[in-house]
Amino acid sequence: MYKKTVVLTGAGVSAESGLSTFRDNNGLWDNHRVEDVATPEAFDRNPELVHQFYNQRRAALSTVVPNTAHMALAKVENRSESFLLVTQNVDDLHHRAGSENLLHMHGELLKKRCVQCHEISSQQSDLTLESICGHCERVGTLRPHIVWFGEMPLYMDEIMLALMQCDLFVSIGTSGTVYPAAGFVEIANQSGAHTVELNLEPSDQNSQFQQSIHGPASQVVPKFFESIELI
């Protein structure tokens, strides 16, 4: 029986909804260079290219729906005294599935940020250099509310506290290649938590997990959470 659960998800949890992962065959990093579209320097150098990359990914959200893994996570949230879902994903599928105790540590496609006044606000349509900040009314100061390589992930204090207090840590659909998320399992192990990897194949961190179940998230996630007792 587990009282304090932390779940980490990556792109693999949204793969069966039809969104590309990053490092699988034909993944996003097969078709784009990180240096061109996912760093602050890239945005300074060629903001139009960066806007185009995120505009395409934002538009794709209207063509996909949450899958049974997203739905299972939303359902299990209310079965546990303390449940935190940390996602590396910037899609809105966990939210649309009904998850509420949800932290997007790498930001969200459906939000923008003004580099001048730092206002964070909703963004449903394309962002361009002509977009105007609704708060400070400047033109051309808006960027996707996405954490780029070299930038600090969001909510780290809250996440670290939850990891140090959890007794169950489940990692779903992530290759375990990008820190700090790739290091979460080690913190959970040190906290004495039971650590589980649910992934299509063994991740880079697989040896750190006490339990691994490999298969498609839409199958292994609902099955796993039906098999454990949360209080």
Feature table: binding site: 10-29, 54, 57, 88-91, 114, 117, 133, 136, 173-175, 199-201, 217
What element of type H or E holds 170? strand 168-172
Q: Which stretch binds ligand APR (CB under 6 A): 23-31, 116-124, 125-133, 187-195?
A: 23-31
Nearest distance in Å: CB 44, ligand APR: 19
Nearest distance in Å: CB 139, ligand APR: 28
Is 106 a catalytic site residue? Answer: yes
Nearest distance in Å: CB 231, ligand APR: 27
| Residue sitting closest to ligand APR (CB) | 12
Does the protein bind ligand APR through residue 190 (CB under 6 A)?
no
Strand 4-9 to strand 168-172: parallel, antiparallel, or no bridges (unpaired)? parallel
Show Cβ contacts of residue 194 under 8 Å, excluding neighbours closer than 6 positions: 2, 167, 168, 169, 210, 211
Candidate list 106, 145, 194, 214, residue with the active-site label: 106
C-alpha–C-alpha distance, residues 81 and 69, integer Å: 21
Of 88 and 208, the one with the shorter C-beta distance to ligand APR is 88
**Among positions 55, 68, 88, 123, the unique one binding ligand APR when judged by CB under 6 A:** 88
C-alpha–C-alpha distance, residues 119 and 123, integer Å: 12
* Cα 197 from chain centroid (whole Å): 16
- Residues in contact with ligand APR, shown as a per-residue x/- string from 97 to 126 under the rule CB under 6 A: ---------x--------------------
Nearest distance in Å: CB 19, ligand APR: 10
Show Cβ contacts of residue 168 under 8 Å, excluding neighbours closer than 6 positions: 2, 4, 5, 6, 193, 194, 196, 228, 230
Task: Give the CA radius of gyration of the chain.
Answer: 18
Of 66 and 173, the one with the shorter C-beta distance to ligand APR is 173
User: Residue 8 carries which DSSP code?
Assistant: E
Total residues interacting with ligand APR, rule: CB under 6 A: 23
Nearest to 17 by CA among 76, 62, 49, 82: 62
Catalytically active residues are: 106
